[in-house]
Structure 1
Amino acid sequence: MAPVDRLQPKFVDYIPDDVEAGVLYVSRRFSTATHLCCCGCGHEVVTPLNPAKWSIAERDGRVSLTPSVGNWSFPCRSHYIVSDNRILWASSMSPEAIAAVRRRDIQDAVRLAPPRPSWVRRLLAGALVAWTSTVAAITRPWRK
């Protein structure tokens, strides 16, 4: 497979089983974009669309994907930017730089994740519900 210098966006509900080279499949329904690696290695690249990962911008039928796509887990280790459907090749990164990016990605995911109650809050909330239900059951006969 030959390298590609452009990705044509195709908006779909579901990503097809057979992904074509040179096509950026975008599923708004599942907040993801998928394409074959632009270097031509044939690996499928999945980019989750959310504040902690990637975002996509559309303008006049062209798309841009930010931040860059770093395929560091692939043998090709390709690194590129998708800007107005064009592939702009970025410099390769050292293992230390890749590790720093991965650490930052984890920090962003934690920082941008919706707040969830801790196990203590859930336990206390459950205890409060149980206590309220018990008190209501005990005091019910004395209410008029």
Structure 2
Amino acid sequence: MRDQVLEHRFVESFPETLEAGVLYISLEYGSAAHSCCCGCGEEVVTPLTPTDWSIIYDGEAVTLHPSVGSWTLPCRSHYVIRRNRVIEAPPWSDSEIEAERRRDRRAKAAHFGVDAPAGSADAVRSAAEAEDLRPESGWKDRLFGWLWRPKS
């Protein structure tokens, strides 16, 4: 990771060009944006919603949860932003990414009350089911997630 620490800036809207090393947070538009921390220069936007990302601001630093996985970018970088620090996370396989995308679709459908067509792969039986669809990971990934999760 090129950026090890991010400066946070609360803004109404994002600048046209994102400055490297800065996490822009727009409460007005419910999203955060930054230049990818790997250094590739790509723009990363994270919507702040109950089914996407959330931020914790403790008066000094910002934590963005969950991790940022740039799966659609060529770099495919994966990292956690915790108390303004960038922590590199283990890469995900294509099957892990697809499993997370399925879980995300189901969580959104459950939260927003949108029913998938009956019998479809994305049909939601309950919000609890959606939460149980996280991709399987090895013990190192689970330990990493436990160690770096935001404090409640």
Q: TM-score, normalised by structure 2?
A: 0.73
Q: How does 1:12-91 map to 2 (within 5 A)?
A: 12-91=11-90
Structure 2 unaligned spans of 5+: 116-152
Distance (Å, rounded) in 1 between the aligned partners of 2:114 and 2:43: 32
Percent of paired sites with the same residue: 45
Structure 1 runs (4+) greater than 2 angstroms displaced:
none
Distance (Å, rounded) in 2 between the aligned partners of 1:110 and 1:27: 25
Shift in Å, 1:60:
2.6
Q: Please identify, of 37-46 and 2-11, the stretch whose mean Cα deviation from structure 2 is larger.
A: 2-11
Q: Partner of 1:5 in structure 2?
A: 4
Shift in Å, 1:109:
1.1
Q: Which amino acid aligns with 2:109?
A: V
Distance (Å, rounded) in 2 between the aligned partners of 1:36 and 1:62: 18
- For the aligned residue pairs, the C-alpha RMSD in angstroms reads 1.5
Distance (Å, rounded) in 2 between the aligned partners of 1:18 and 1:9: 15
